[in-house]
Amino acid sequence: MQNHESIILVAENTDKKLVGFCQVYPIFCSVAAAQILVVYDLFVSETTSKFGAGRAHIKSVADYAKTNHYARLDLSTAKNNLKAQALYES
């Protein structure tokens, strides 16, 4: 973080307690000839996941990418992480 090599977005509930985070890495994509963001870590507490916290994180990252003129987002997850795959595909 001190080297500014990643961006971390956090989510808090109405009580101002942290309930999740999303870490993204800006990289240069030679195919697109532009900067892109790679979503690397996405975590939300189980108590908030059923309320759309993961979807809100993805929307925040997409908004951040658009505002800062990144060409695209790259997302990936483990083959057996069906919950994350469903979120990303939606």
pLDDT tens by residue, 30-80: 998 999 999 888 888 877 666 777 888 888 889 999 999 999 998 877 888
In degrees, rounded to 5, the angle at the alpha carbon of residue 61 between the alpha carbons of residues 16 and 30 is: 150
| CATH code where residue 59 lies | 3.40.630.30
Q: Determine the Cα–Cα distance for residues 43 and 72; give it in Å rounded to an integer.
A: 21
Domain assignment present for residue 2? The answer is: no
Domain assignment present for residue 54? The answer is: yes
Domain count, the chain: 1
* Amino acid symbol at 54: G
Domain assignment present for residue 12? The answer is: yes
For residue 68, what are the CA distances in angstroms to 45, 61, 72, 77?
28, 10, 11, 24
* pLDDT(28) > 90: yes
Question: pLDDT at position 5, please?
Answer: 85
Question: pLDDT at position 49, please?
Answer: 66
What is the extent of the structural domain holding 48? 7-89
Domain assignment present for residue 1? The answer is: no
Angle between helices 82-89 and 53-67 (to 10 degrees): 50
